């Protein structure tokens, strides 16, 4: 997809279509300046057609009009933005993505006005960024395994900006939008691939390729024999059931140029279960169908690192991924087994389908040992969180108010929904074990997302920490504006926002 900027008026741009905006405003929409100028060129017929069709400009609504060759573009589309007082960059991102999904197979080029003419208080750069994200993410499709899939898509987006100063702001926003989208799409692709393709070795190769392309990033891959010497028995306990698949422990390091005056080091830790059968505590068939997605946390970390040299955080950032499938074999860990985590605590395995928290135990403490000053983990961890919050909202847990609030802000501006859930200390005893320091499932069926987060907290050594349970929003069972059914890339844009804001 190509993005262009021009100082030509919309009426003088040669494209398949032009796109203008309107706000909901009672009986008649509130029209933007660009709409009025296009309508004038169309001799008022656009306004009359909208009036006749009773177009209200509700959020995401779309009106199509044939230009009758009065301007260079064949079609004029009017896109509703909803009420002006409710308008936000997230709404703009979503309606552009929705427009793209509807029209991508019907037009190859579209021109739209500079966003300053939309009559909103959102700055040009931010609006340009989310428009770019909307076009790119709205056009996403994972169809590489379909023989007869149509690849027809929007090819050219032209933004009309009247002055050099505004054009610079538009370009700045475009470049940001491309970076955010590129990282999101890498994550989507990794999660959408079959587990036969995205093995632990494949994830390790992706990490190594990222390091090769980013001069500020170093990658280290630890194999089974090295992990045994390091004492990562919790991770290896889960991995032992996959007899023919070697586990990989992936460590990425980004080092900014210059001095680390902020004295911070951020750790991003992603759950990397490349397929989850449930192990000996095997899942039901319907629950297993999409379990290739259980490495979505790892894919999110890799997506962020793929652009980290472009976003240039001012502090060091490390990425930690313990990658393995959770499979059944004669060597699989079984309920009642006890493993010793990297931090020395023993874990009684009472359910092998609660494996993610066990691998994360070693990953989190590795981040501690690498001197992380704050830790953020992402994991498709519990069905309980999805039951509580639905499929579009991630559960946010943490032990540090400042870190939690900053991530909430980063999520909000990224259009990614999170909701804080509590970590009540009185629930800690639910994870007790009769034979070990802690068990991997609670003794109660209730509050499963909370008890899982409390388990993880045992391995962060009191460092500022946030856990994001992305079991719901990592994967769509039904398409929405920003993407088709499948992986969403949830968390990538939030983390980029957070790292850029440090």
Distance CA 3, CA 22 (A): 23
Alpha helices in 248-369 (DSSP H): 285-288, 296-305, 308-311, 356-369
Sheet holding 346-348: strands in order across?
Answer: 338-340, 346-348, 438-439
Distance CA 325, CA 448 (A): 22
Distance CA 224, CA 256 (A): 30
Distance CA 180, CA 50 (A): 35
Take residue 196 and report the two structure tokens written for it: 């036969």
Beta bridge partners of 251: 220, 320
Length of the chain: 502
Q: Is 357 an annotated catalytic residue?
A: yes
Describe the crossing of helices 89-103 and 124-138 by its angle, rounded to 10 degrees.
30
Please state the φ and ψ torsions of residue 320, each to the nearest 5 degrees. Answer: -130, 125
Q: Is 327 helix (H, G, I), strand (E, B) or coil?
A: coil
User: Residue 188's CB: how many other CB atoms inside 10 A?
Assistant: 26
Q: Is 345 an annotated catalytic residue?
A: no
Distance CA 394, CA 379 (A): 10
- Annotated active-site residue in 188, 357, 417, 463: 357
The H or E element that residue 238 is part of is: helix 233-239
Q: Per-residue DSSP letters for 342-369?
A: TTS-EEE-S-TT--HHHHHHHHHHHHHH
- Annotated active-site residue in 283, 406, 428, 500: 283
Distance CA 25, CA 84 (A): 8
- Could you tell me which of 142, 406, 114 has the C-alpha nearest to residue 266? 406
Extract the runs of DSSP E, i.e. beta strands, from 29-164.
Answer: 30-31, 62-66, 75-83, 109-113, 156-160
User: Residue 84's CB: how many other CB atoms inside 10 A?
Assistant: 15
* Helices and strands (DSSP H and E) totals, the chain: 16, 20
Please state the φ and ψ torsions of residue 357, each to the nearest 5 degrees. Answer: -65, -30
* Positions marked catalytic: 283, 357
């Amino acid at each position: 997809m190509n993005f262009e900027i021009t100082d030509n008026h919309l009426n003088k741009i040669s494209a398949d279509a032009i796109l203008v905006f309107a706000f909901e405003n009672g009986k008649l929409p509130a029209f933007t300046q660009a709409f009025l100028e296009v309508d004038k060129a169309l001799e008022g017929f656009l306004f009359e057609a909208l009036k006749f069709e009773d177009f209200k400009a509700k959020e995401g609504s779309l009106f199509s009009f044939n230009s009758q060759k009065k301007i260079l573009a064949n079609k004029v589309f009017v896109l509703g933005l909803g009420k002006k007082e409710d308008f936000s960059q997230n709404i703009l991102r979503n309606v552009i993505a929705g427009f793209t999904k509807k029209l991508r197979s019907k037009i190859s080029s579209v021109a739209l006005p500079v966003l300053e003419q939309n009559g909103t208080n959102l700055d040009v750069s931010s609006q340009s960024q989310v428009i770019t994200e909307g076009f790119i993410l709205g056009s996403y499709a994972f169809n590489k395994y379909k023989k007869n899939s149509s690849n027809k898509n929007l090819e050219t987006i032209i933004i009309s900006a009247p002055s050099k100063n505004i054009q610079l702001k538009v370009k700045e926003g475009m470049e940001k939008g491309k970076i955010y989208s590129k990282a999101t799409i890498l994550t989507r692709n990794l999660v959408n691939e079959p587990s036969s393709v995205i093995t632990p070795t494949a994830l390790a190769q992706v990490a190594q390729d990222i390091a090769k392309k980013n001069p500020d990033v170093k990658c280290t891959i630890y194999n089974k024999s090295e992990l045994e010497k390091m004492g990562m028995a919790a991770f290896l306990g889960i991995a032992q059931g996959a007899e023919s698949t070697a586990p990989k422990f992936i460590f990425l390091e980004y080092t900014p140029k210059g001095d680390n005056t902020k004295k911070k080091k951020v750790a991003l830790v992603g759950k990397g279960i490349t397929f989850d059968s449930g192990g000996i505590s095997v899942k039901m068939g319907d629950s297993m169908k999409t379990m290739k997605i259980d490495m979505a946390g790892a894919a999110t970390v890799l997506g962020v690192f793929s652009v980290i040299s472009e976003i240039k955080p001012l502090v060091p950032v490390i990425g930690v991924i313990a990658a393995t499938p959770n499979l059944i074999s004669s060597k699989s860990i079984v309920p009642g087994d006890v493993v010793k985590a990297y931090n020395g605590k023993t874990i009684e395995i009472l359910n092998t389908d609660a494996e993610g928290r066990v691998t994360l135990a070693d990953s989190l403490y590795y981040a501690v040992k690498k001197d992380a000053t704050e830790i953020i983990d992402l994991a498709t961890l519990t069905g309980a969180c999805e039951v509580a919050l639905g499929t579009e909202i991630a559960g946010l847990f943490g032990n540090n108010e400042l870190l939690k609030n900053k991530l909430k802000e980063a999520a909000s501006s990224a259009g990614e929904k999170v909701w804080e859930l509590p970590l009540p200390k009185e629930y800690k005893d639910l994870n007790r074990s009769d034979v070990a320091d802690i068990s991997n499932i609670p003794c109660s069926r209730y509050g499963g997302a909370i008890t899982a987060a409390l388990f993880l907290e045992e391995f962060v050594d009191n460092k500022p920490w946030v856990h994001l349970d992305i079991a719901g929003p990592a994967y769509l069972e039904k398409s929405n504006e920003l993407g088709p059914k499948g992986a969403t890339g949830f968390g990538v844009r939030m983390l980029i926002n957070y790292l850029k804001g440090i």
